[in-house]
Amino acid sequence: MTRRSTQVQSASRSLILPSLLHPIVLILVLFPSLAANSGGNHRVRGDEFFLACDNRQALLEYQQAYRENPTGFEELLRVARVYNDLGRIALGRSDSAQIFYQSATAYADSLLHYYPGKAETHFMYALAYGSTMPFCSVTDKIKTGKLVRDHALRAIALDSSFAMPYVILGIFEREAAQLSWISKTLVRLVFGESIDGSLDKSEHLLRNALALDPANSYALYELHWTYKAMGDSAHAIEALRDVIQINPHNARETCQLDEARTELDKMIHGHQQSTR
């Protein structure tokens, strides 16, 4: 499939979600173009609030746009995205994170029903369900993890130039590589297959995402976690330094930037202590 134009990729970064799940959280979101909309449109106003880091007001506008067009691709995508962002920002800070994530999955279900042939649909589906994993039982985590992997792969099959599904798969490989033997046994019992994961594959997938979108702060932030899992503090610190050089475009990226700065301070302090 042909690569998206530079102009569309730039708009995509402005409106992207990811993560995505941390951990097997993602990672990643979306990025429809703003150019085709008129100024009085609820979707346009929602985009303006979203890019001004006001997700609550953006949600109100997106919900109104959804009411007016409940099967629209752009409307479903934006509501799912902003609910997922609200969940990621609330994660660890508020009990509302799970509710936001569950709302995102409901709209992702509708996307899959109406638009199964779009790469963005499968990415959003993988992201939304992957984000619920901190609230799942061990068995449900395994089932959800397989769902996340399969839909991320489907997104890439539909559009190999789409960076964010590679981020999801990079996280999947990292988290699978760190599963306990008990969890790996459960995987074999539930699915009849082994999911071992690889930190080297995680790095490769995240590097693929960056080759497609060099300013992808989500990929850089997740790359730092992969290097940290490898015990490679120097490269982890380098990835964090790259993250904080990228200006955030929305509330989720602003939250990620704050986390990256905190993590960088901790890692530099720990690295200095270990070299004394």
The pLDDT, as a whole number, for residue 165 is: 98
- Residue 250 scores a pLDDT above 50: yes
- Residue 129 scores a pLDDT above 90: yes
Q: Give me the chain's average pLDDT, please.
A: 84
**What pLDDT band is residue 162 in, cutting at 50, 70 and 90?**
very high
Under 8 Å between Cβ of 60 and 42: no
Under 8 Å between Cβ of 29 and 164: yes
Boundaries of domain holding 220:
6-274
The pLDDT, as a whole number, for residue 183 is: 59
CATH number, domain containing residue 255: 1.25.40.10
Phi and psi, residue 41, nearest 5°: -75, 140
Q: How many CB atoms lie within 10 A of CB 115?
A: 17
Domain count, the chain: 1
Is residue 95 in some structural domain?
Answer: yes
Is residue 1 in some structural domain?
Answer: no
Q: What would the DSSP string read from start to end of 16-34?
A: ---EEETTTEEE------S
Longest dimension (CA), the chain: 63
The predicted-structure confidence for 214-249, as pLDDT tens digits, reads as follows: 999 999 999 999 999 999 999 999 999 999 999 999
Phi and psi, residue 36, nearest 5°: -85, 0
Q: How far apart are the first and last CA of the chain?
A: 52
pTM of the predicted protein model: 0.82
